């Protein structure tokens, strides 16, 4: 077992929470992907996240908290529709971007007047956050536990392979198994008159509409909606990329990797990396399949994108950015 890898007993989670408060980093599973966590109120610890990831300092981090009630610590203004979203979808794969309170400092928000907050549903993540709150912590800043722009990890082993050389002896990786959803949380801007989806995920526009009514989609900025220009995780044109070149929606040739729904045949001498049977399965295995392409030394991965709505929209978003390369 790696020196960084830890089990997920109650005592281990309490130890990890104490380590966070002491300024160390703890990578942990969420239902979406693994996150690299630090005490969100500790500037030096947060700086370590940026250093380990090679992440630009103006790229904001998401604060993970143990309960809906903790949103009040981080937000200065919370519209009613944001409260409705939190009640309906937390714990779960949704991040709310709100106008920040004094607790959210520039080192966390990339200098913006907003902060992203979420309550994950993975039992290990919730156990860690609850232990952290019990020990006096306010929240854990946690982007995905990978080098900036690379494929997000969905297992502890992927975290170790990606970041093991950058972690200190005091840092930890909590092994909670493979992530259930496999793509990052839906990010919703809650600074205007209606929710605006900034990054699609498992919480879809249809689900949000059922909770709040009308939903804005795309990059909306106009006085009529009083909308801020907000930078969020995963918003760059090139992101989520393996070393291999990702090519979308064409027939693969011999020697190339291939990811497509199970009913799409594999050509002769094509390396099949994944054959999901549903859109949920596609999301769950996508990143591990992209990583396996690099492990196999492939130069090109062809992906036939899933059609339709729901989480397929999030899959296509990630693949479009992945195809932009590193």
* CA 229, chain centre distance (Å): 20
pLDDT at 230: 78
Residues 83-107, mean pLDDT to the nearest whole number? 97
Using 50, 70 and 90 to split pLDDT, how confident is the model at 220? very low
CB 241 within 8 A of CB 162: no
Q: How confident is the model at residue 39 (pLDDT cuts 50, 70, 90)?
A: very high
Cis, peptide link before residue 91, omega less than 30° from 0: yes
Query: Is residue 238's pLDDT more than 70?
Result: no
Q: Rounded to whole angstroms, what are the CA distances from 72 to 110, 207, 227?
A: 20, 24, 21
Residues above pLDDT 70, as percent of the chain: 92
Please tell me the predicted confidence (pLDDT) of residue 9.
86
Look at residue 216 and tell me whether its pLDDT is greater than 90: no
Contact 2, 121 (CB under 8 A): no
pLDDT at 76 over 60: yes
- HSE value, Cβ hemisphere, 13 Å, CA-based, for 168: 11
| Segment 229-257 mean pLDDT | 85
- 311 pLDDT higher than 80: yes
pLDDT attached to residue 292:
97
Q: Over 60: is that where the pLDDT of 7 sits?
A: yes
Average pLDDT over the chain reads 92
The whole-number average pLDDT for the span 117-140 is 98
**In contact, 118 and 201? CB cutoff 8 Å:** no
Portion of the chain with pLDDT greater than 90, in percent: 86
Query: pLDDT value at position 3?
Result: 65
What is the pLDDT, as a whole number, of residue 194? 93
**For the whole model, what pTM was predicted?**
0.93
The Cα 49–Cα 43 span in angstroms is: 10
How far apart, in whole angstroms, are the C-alpha atoms of residue 117 and residue 95?
A: 5
pLDDT at site 219: 47
């Amino acid at each position: 077992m790696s020196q960084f890898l830890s089990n997920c007993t109650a005592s281990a989670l309490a130890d990890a929470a104490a380590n966070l408060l002491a300024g160390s980093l703890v990578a942990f599973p969420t239902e979406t992907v693994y996150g690299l966590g630090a005490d969100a109120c500790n500037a030096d610890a947060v700086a370590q996240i940026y250093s380990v990831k090679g992440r630009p300092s103006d790229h904001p981090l998401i604060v993970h908290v143990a309960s809906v009630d903790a949103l009040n610590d981080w937000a200065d203004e919370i519209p009613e529709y944001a409260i409705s979203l939190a009640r309906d979808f937390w714990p779960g794969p949704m991040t709310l971007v709100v106008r920040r309170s004094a607790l959210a400092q520039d080192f966390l928000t990339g200098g913006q007047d907003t902060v992203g907050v979420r309550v994950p549903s993975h039992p290990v993540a919730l156990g860690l956050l609850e232990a952290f709150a019990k020990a006096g912590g306010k929240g854990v800043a946690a982007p995905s536990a990978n080098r900036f722009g690379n494929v997000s990890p969905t297992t502890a082993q992927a975290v170790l392979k990606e970041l093991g050389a950058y972690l200190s002896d005091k840092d930890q990786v909590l092994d909670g198994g493979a992530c259930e959803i496999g793509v990052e949380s839906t990010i919703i801007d809650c600074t205007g008159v209606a929710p605006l989806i900034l990054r699609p995920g498992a919480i879809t526009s249809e689900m949000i509409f059922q909770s709040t009514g009308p939903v804005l989609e795309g990059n909306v900025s106009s006085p009529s909606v009083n909308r801020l220009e907000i930078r969020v995780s995963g918003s760059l044109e090139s992101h989520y990329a393996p070393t291999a070149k990702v090519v979308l929606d064409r027939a693969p040739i011999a020697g190339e990797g291939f990811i497509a729904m199970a009913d799409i045949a594999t050509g002769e001498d094509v390396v099949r990396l994944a054959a999901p049977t549903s859109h949920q399965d596609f999301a769950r295995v996508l990143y591990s399949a992209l990583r396996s392409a690099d492990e196999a030394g492939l130069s090109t991965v062809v992906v036939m994108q899933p059609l339709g709505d729901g989480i397929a929209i999030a899959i296509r978003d990630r693949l479009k950015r992945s195809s932009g390369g590193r």
